[in-house]
Amino acid sequence: MLSFFRWYCRPDYVEDLEGDLRERFANHMEEKGVGQAKRLFTLDVLRLFRPGLIRSFPNWTNIFNQDMFKNNLKIAFRHIRNQKLYSSIKIGGLALGIGAFLILALYLKNEFGYDDFYPNKDRMYRVTTKYLEEGFQGVDFPAPFSKALQNDFPEVEKAGRYIPSPWFNQIRPEGSFQNFFEEGAAYVDVELLEILDIPLVHGDYSKSFTKPNSVLISESKARKYFPGTNPINQRIVINNNLDNPHTIVGVFQDFPENSHIDFDFMLSLSGVEFWPEEQQYWGANMYDVYTLLKPGVDPTDFERKAQSIITDYFLPSYQEREFANPTEIANNMELKLQPIEDIYLESADIRDNLSHGNEQILWLFGFSGILIIIIAAINFVNLSTARYSLRAKEIGMRKVVGADRSSIMKQFLTEAIIFSLIAAIIGLVLACIFLPFLNSITDKSLHFSLDMLAYLPILISSAVLLGLVTGSYPSFYLSKLGGMSMQGPKLDGSNKKSVFRSSLVIFQFAISVILIICTIVVYEQMQFVMNKDLGFKKDKVVLIKGTDALGDKVSLFKEDILQIPHIRSASISDYVPVEEGRRYSDSFWKDGKQNTEQGVNAQIWHVDHDYIETMGLEIVLGRGFEENNSSDSTGIIISKSLMDKLSLDKGIGSLIGTKESSWRVIGVMKDFHFESLENEISPSCLILAKSPSIVSAKVSGANTEAVLSAIEKKWSKLAPTNPFRYSFLDERFEFMHKDISMAGRLFNMFAILAIFIACLGLFSLTTFMADRSKKEIGIRKVLGASVLRITKLLSKDFIRLVLIGILIAIPVGWYIMNGWLNDFAYRVSLDWSIFVKGSLLALGIGIVTISYQCVSAALQNPVNNLRS
């Protein structure tokens, strides 16, 4: 908004007024917060936009004679009034295109603007480890890593860390008895807060956050739990732990929606050890580490220098723990720095358990928005040139009375700009109306704010530019007509112009078919994901969350819900094959090979005896866990891929282990998916151990609501102060692939919009050509031509154009979607049926559009057409 002020303000007033504006902004920010201060700043800038303060601009109306300009405006509005259908189609098509583009621009601005609000974003990096042989990067580091990074390298200004806290879920203010479920918590150190430069509404973290059991909470949570009061020094109870309440030492502004870090509770790491000497232990990777480099430090040079930390700290740790080939393991690691602005969109090979956008899809969306604008512009050009004969006498009369070519061009450019400005206004209104629909698709909360008024000059300028572009060819062409044009046009069969107009129609339908093909492919891929054999049965499994709040009663709760009719089985385990499940991996060896062979990394899940039945896992060798078999406490069930990678010949009865423990294999299960289908299935195994945060229940029968009600009653008896929370396994699995679902719905919206705008143009051209040929139609009918024959005659050229557009679209659509599908380890094949469906759909819509007007023209009474 400040740029807008400097643009319009008189140069001799800029310095003084800008100082006043900045002072008012600082006062408002101190009194009312940053958000309200920005809104008031926008209003202040707009209030100053008044005569006396506005600089002198060139008199753009000198481009036109003022009287002539007024006359051109009158003619433009008269033309709109007299040609309501065609004007509505031209304006409506442009408005739809502009509206779609504005919505899409807002969405793309949000997506590409992730994490660009940090003051020192150019020096902020996330540290990752690249594993060269495996081809992926990890973000987890040992507890002492960040200190070593900051102490050993003078290039590092600060290094901070956090660890997500999945066991943080029940919270209440001290003195209250009702717990509330919360997500978005992490243990962080003060260095990370300083790197991120977290703005505080209340409190000061520089000193108070270093005290044990300190916590920062977001502004929204402060309003929720302590409405109307300053919560500093208030205490909250986490997971019913009355012995260690946490003291609130600060309230921070909520993270923006487009931030990959989105915590509501930040607990101090000061005095925290998750086990004895954990903070000095180099053998457990749990912390995400961020660093702020000093000004002028080249990140590439620093990456090369920082590799020494692997040999100085990681390698001795591997040697101390007697890893096989520790030097090879260290040589397989490479430290990398990822700019903070790249984390959301450029983390395809990084495993960090965060939500990410798909940059390829975003570029496709942006390209689709531009193409929709182009389709609408093509309609404008086509209709303007196709109907030139109706303006020929007007042009001829103007030239006879002395008008030159430039004045005629100005008239048509004025009309085009008027059309474009009206379309921009309507498009802005449509964008505001349909923005909630986009939010429902993308799960965002985007909105047009007062801050965006700064973009109003850009919108107006773009609308004028669009008018000039769309009006340039028609005005250039029509202004060429000579004075004799008033005698009647002879150019209707102009081959050159017909080819140009036909090319535009082909281009329109090619774009529409490409979008239809994209929609079908995304839909097919989503169906493939949802119906693929996953190795487990996801239907009708209820996940009851937060059951660790029951303490020792969790087993009793499981037994209670098993008494409910239609519950076939139940299991206690945090490890479920969807995103919200816990994950833990370790390296496995054949027993006794730990110091001589390279280990195999695999997920190791803690489950109970009923887990396999509840999740529908398939045992291919051996058996599952048995309730009354005490030897199963040292037994393990491994996946087929882990058996193959460990080269276990017998499988059953083999001894395998990690560095710390060993188990005997009692069963081999079929591999199952527990990550997105973009990734290959990883090896996994199951052992009997406690993980009580989730109870899963397999439900049979159709009356799921009654079963849920019965479960809630059992819950309320055991945990009356804790909320009952649940989800369904199949819904959470679909949520894991929400980016595919969202892309499908957006492409569907774009395809419908593109084909609708293209058909508007096709309908208009067909109507015009039928109107121009009505005498010919009348003569043919008098001579005996049937309605079918006349319809074929009128529609064949247009249908040919649609077919050519389809032929162009098929290879382009294949190329685009094949590139997108390459990101998936498991994908549909692009067979011919997909392209046939898209082509037939576009052709059918085109034929219906064309035939309606052609049949109407063929059915008219020939006497009326010949008599006029």
Q: How confident is the model at residue 496 (pLDDT cuts 50, 70, 90)?
A: very low
Phi, psi of 515 (to 5 degrees): -65, -35
pLDDT cut 90: percent of the chain above it: 31
Q: How many CB atoms lie within 10 A of CB 605?
A: 24
Return d(Cα 318, Cα 283) in angstroms, integer: 8
Return d(Cα 103, Cα 780) in angstroms, integer: 49
Average pLDDT of the residues of the chain: 84
Q: Retrieve residue 133's tokens.
A: 């042989």
Q: Is 203 helix (H, G, I), strand (E, B) or coil?
A: strand
Q: Assess whether pLDDT exceeds 60 at residue 63.
A: no
Distance (Å) of CA 618 to CA 82, 404, 532, 537, 613: 73, 84, 15, 10, 9
Q: Assess whether pLDDT exceeds 90 at residue 133.
A: no
Q: The whole model's pTM is what?
A: 0.76
The angle at the Cα of 16, spanning 14 to 22, to the nearest 5 degrees, equals 95
Cβ neighbors of 514 (< 8 A, separation 6 or more) are 809, 812, 813, 816
Q: Where are the alpha helices (DSSP H) in 532-565?
A: 554-562
Return d(Cα 771, Cα 792) in angstroms, integer: 16
Count each helix (H run) and each strand (E run) in the chain, helices first.
28, 26
Phi, psi of 596 (to 5 degrees): -125, -15
Predicted pLDDT of residue 493 = 40
Predicted pLDDT of residue 326 = 85
Q: How confident is the model at residue 486 (pLDDT cuts 50, 70, 90)?
A: very low
Return d(Cα 217, Cα 232) in angstroms, integer: 10
Of 259-268, 478-487, 701-710, where does mean pLDDT reach its minimum?
Answer: 478-487
Q: Retrieve residue 716's tokens.
A: 């309320």
Q: Is 237 helix (H, G, I), strand (E, B) or coil?
A: strand
Predicted pLDDT of residue 807 = 92
Name the residue among 300, 173, 263 with its Cα closest to residue 224. Answer: 173
Q: How confident is the model at residue 255 (pLDDT cuts 50, 70, 90)?
A: very high
Q: How confident is the model at residue 288 (pLDDT cuts 50, 70, 90)?
A: very high
End-to-end CA distance of the chain: 60
Q: Retrieve residue 316's tokens.
A: 């001795």
Return d(Cα 722, Cα 178) in angstroms, integer: 7
Q: How confident is the model at residue 329 (pLDDT cuts 50, 70, 90)?
A: confident
Cβ neighbors of 248 (< 8 A, separation 6 or more) are 203, 215, 216, 217, 222, 231, 232, 233, 234, 235, 236
Predicted pLDDT of residue 481 = 57
Return d(Cα 201, Cα 252) in angstroms, integer: 5
pLDDT mean over 565-594: 86
Q: Is 69 helix (H, G, I), strand (E, B) or coil?
A: helix
Predicted pLDDT of residue 55 = 75
pLDDT mean over 428-440: 89
Cβ neighbors of 842 (< 8 A, separation 6 or more) are 509, 512, 513, 516, 755, 802, 805, 806, 809
Predicted pLDDT of residue 186 = 92
Q: Is 340 helix (H, G, I), strand (E, B) or coil?
A: helix
Helix axes 66-82, 84-112, angle to 10 degrees: 100
The angle at the Cα of 703, spanning 697 to 709, to the nearest 5 degrees, equals 65
Predicted pLDDT of residue 387 = 60
Of 26-35, 392-401, 479-488, where does mean pLDDT reach its minimum?
Answer: 479-488
Predicted pLDDT of residue 44 = 85
Predicted pLDDT of residue 490 = 42
65-98 tens-digit pLDDT: 556 667 777 777 777 777 777 788 888 888 988 8
Q: How confident is the model at residue 492 (pLDDT cuts 50, 70, 90)?
A: very low
Pairing of strands 684-688, 600-607: parallel
103-116 tens-digit pLDDT: 988 999 889 999 99
153-192 tens-digit pLDDT: 999 999 999 998 766 678 889 888 888 888 889 999 999 9
Q: Which of 131-145, 513-527, 577-591, 632-646 has the highest mean pLDDT?
A: 632-646
pLDDT mean over 212-223: 93
Asked if residue 385 lies in contact with residue 90, where contact means CB atoms within 8 angstroms, the answer is no
Return d(Cα 695, Cα 715) in angstroms, integer: 11
795-845 tens-digit pLDDT: 787 788 888 989 999 999 898 888 888 878 888 888 888 888 888 888 888
Distance (Å) of CA 217 to CA 231, 232, 301, 667, 769: 9, 10, 38, 47, 67
User: Could you say which DSSP state residue 154 is in?
Assistant: T
Predicted pLDDT of residue 482 = 53
Asked if residue 716 lies in contact with residue 580, where contact means CB atoms within 8 angstroms, the answer is no
In terms of pLDDT, which residue wins out, 237 or 792? Answer: 237
Return d(Cα 468, Cα 360) in angstroms, integer: 32
Return d(Cα 682, Cα 151) in angstroms, integer: 37
The widest CA-to-CA distance across the chain, in whole angstroms, is 108
Q: How confident is the model at residue 586 (pLDDT cuts 50, 70, 90)?
A: confident
Q: Is 143 helix (H, G, I), strand (E, B) or coil?
A: coil
Name the residue among 159, 218, 155 with its Cα closest to residue 186. Answer: 218
Whose tokens are 């474009």? That residue is: 420
